[in-house]
Structure 1
């Protein structure tokens, strides 16, 4: 069912998007400010249910690209993604009927809303990652046959570039990453243009609605003084993300983070409150694997989410700090993202991890 997004939805949506972003996807707080300004200037946004998209309608997803650590220093003006969309429309010789997120996590849940508000287009309630991933070829769109290029890249000064690598989405990512680095580490993009029928076949459905539901669930549980993580598990049980597992509770003891080749890479460790157990997290923009005492408890494409222990506010990889008290949870991804074809594109091996994928619900038992 389609719905109208207003300024009142944004705080919950940003919180939920940060959870689904698995620590990455860019800081949704910045995105929330950009959407708020766009809605105040241009009016609310229609969030279009994928089932209601005409099969022949042209949908062009829009996003921000680059290292999340850079966004703190290079806050967008809010026009860059729309500039990319218009550049791709000119290249294609046609206009989009809607835009859509490429990922539902972090700031990239927000960028298409800015585009939608400023252009008057609806935004489709679906995405191509079901979380956040660091590279552009890591899309369910591409897994199931949609090509990413031609894509348009836009910089903060109005520069645009069009990349066309045919069906080679990985080379498209490599070229776009190089341009993004030369634009200062952050750019905005329009890519994976497709018809409505392809959206229905390849996208993870209703993830904007899910992000809003997740953020609202955490807030309402806190207001009732209930356990927000337990309530989040109950909410997710009725969704495509059925399983939540608490992986670890403790305090961050070390963070190693660097911006390298257009990504925020690093690792973090934490000690349990009783000092008996240790958590190790590895991230590339997003958390990729969580190990407890050397044993894998959750790994990509399932979601590893770091939450502040008292309020269950999500903590992004660029915000991890020594001494933070955290609860780390694992969340299962939809089956669409666990097929052999999907795991070949964004499973553990795609990140150079030696671990074989096993679902989080098989790796960690549910807490009572």
Structure 2
């Protein structure tokens, strides 16, 4: 059955066909929203381009059009981003995980749910959907990237990460079913990734259509797509790409974002994802200010993704709000796995989506979860006191 037959069966006539140009724009936008993490976007992009080149159809549908009883799942990788860059996957790992999860549940999985707006984890959803002939839903679990399996709007709003299936490209497979214990699901998935060599490929979060609509970040793929379009147009017309990102966030999400620093990386303290850090790439960078920020110092902690920003010792952003470092000329995001001494860029702060700011959400991906003793204050409240640029 083709994806169009699936849509006809559900009575869906309003959908978007994803072509080469579209997936390139989505990849760029998702990488900007990925808060420095999410893995190498080029891997997911090439994977999806290969799917399109083989004549497969990739279709994006609106969340409200999914029948309530339909079941879908998310796909993606878990582990250290630097390992992913050095150890790209074989073609069939996600298809294997997705089909094994379907078999374990004894249910057909009929839609693919992007896990996050991350580098690789956003776009691989399109590749697997094209291979299987089923649609992608215009949602995700955070509208950014986070390092751990359970750190999603789905868990924050009452759903669960398991059952899940973790595989590697040598045929190893782990089925994870921890019922309502999402932390344990993350622990087992992380251990499997380490046993596999630092990275694993997973299918997780089996959700009904009703749950997808009620607990996901809605239209997150469209937001990423619009941001990617805006940056590409800015490059072509020699406009400021970061200003265009800020305008597009205001248009698509009705939120202000804040350009709070411009500088260059002068110091990096990083662990590349060994046993001591449980497979995470963790550490801190230090940036010296340039231009009007001269003589200021910015420090950003990271655990796969950027977590906390301090400028001259004063906190400006805490999780789950987003920190992006963007190249001033191209708008290209500077990721935690590729950053180097001397890289220059502006720091852009973006409010997290409201489904990420629930009481339960702050318990599992707020400041205290990452070991910070500071109380969470929304980024817009912090920067408004300092009069930062919108």
On whether the aligned pair clears a TM of 0.5, the verdict is yes
- 2:389 matched residue in structure 1: 367
1:9 to 17, 22, 39: 22
Give the distance between the partners of 1:179 and 1:120, measured in 2 at CA. 29
Quick one: structure 1 residues 42 and 119, their matched pair in 2 at CA, closer, same or farther if it must change by over 3 Å?
Answer: farther
SS in 2 for 1:250: strand
| Residue 41, structure 1, aligned to residue 58, structure 2 | no
TM-score by length of 2: 0.92
1:314 to 333, 343, 349: 333
Give the distance between the partners of 1:144 and 1:32, measured in 2 at CA. 30
Give the distance between the partners of 2:171 and 2:254, measured in 1 at CA. 39
- 2:312 matched residue in structure 1: 293
| Residue 353, structure 1, aligned to residue 358, structure 2 | no
- 1:303 matched residue in structure 2: 322
SS in 1 for 2:337: helix
* Contact 1:83–1:158 (CA under 8 A) maintained in structure 2: no
- 1:190 matched residue in structure 2: 203
Residue by residue over 1:106-146, the C-alpha shift from the partner in whole angstroms, topping out at 9 and shown as x without a partner, is 11101111110111111111011121000011111111111
TM-score by length of 1: 0.97
Give the root-mean-square deviation of aligned CA atoms: 1.3
* Contact 1:241–1:333 (CA under 8 A) maintained in structure 2: no
2:159 to 143, 146, 152: 146
Task: Please state how far the C-alpha of 1:158 moved relative to its aligned partner.
Answer: 2.2
Alignment of 1:1-368 (within 5 A): 2-240=15-253, 242-258=255-271, 259=273, 260-273=277-290, 275-364=294-383, 365-367=387-389
Q: Which runs of 5+ in 2 are unaligned?
A: 1-13
Give the distance between the partners of 1:76 and 1:300, measured in 2 at CA. 30
Quick one: structure 1 residues 243 and 53, their matched pair in 2 at CA, closer, same or farther if it must change by over 3 Å?
Answer: same
The aligned length equals 368
Give the distance between the partners of 1:351 and 1:118, measured in 2 at CA. 37
Task: Please state how far the C-alpha of 1:44 moved relative to its aligned partner.
Answer: 2.7
Give the distance between the partners of 2:122 and 2:342, measured in 1 at CA. 29
Task: Please state how far the C-alpha of 1:2 moved relative to its aligned partner.
Answer: 2.6
Task: Please state how far the C-alpha of 1:366 moved relative to its aligned partner.
Answer: 4.3
Task: Please state how far the C-alpha of 1:337 moved relative to its aligned partner.
Answer: 1.1
* Contact 1:240–1:333 (CA under 8 A) maintained in structure 2: no
Q: Which runs of 5+ in 1 are unaligned?
A: none
Residue by residue over 1:49-93, the C-alpha shift from the partner in whole angstroms, topping out at 9 and shown as x without a partner, is 101111000111111111101011101123111110111111111
**Runs of at least 4 residues off by over 6 Å:** none
Give the distance between the partners of 1:92 and 1:161, measured in 2 at CA. 14
Give the distance between the partners of 1:78 and 1:24, measured in 2 at CA. 22
- Range that drifts further, 8-17 or 199-208: 8-17
Task: Please state how far the C-alpha of 1:37 moved relative to its aligned partner.
Answer: 0.7
Give the distance between the partners of 2:322 and 2:74, measured in 1 at CA. 22
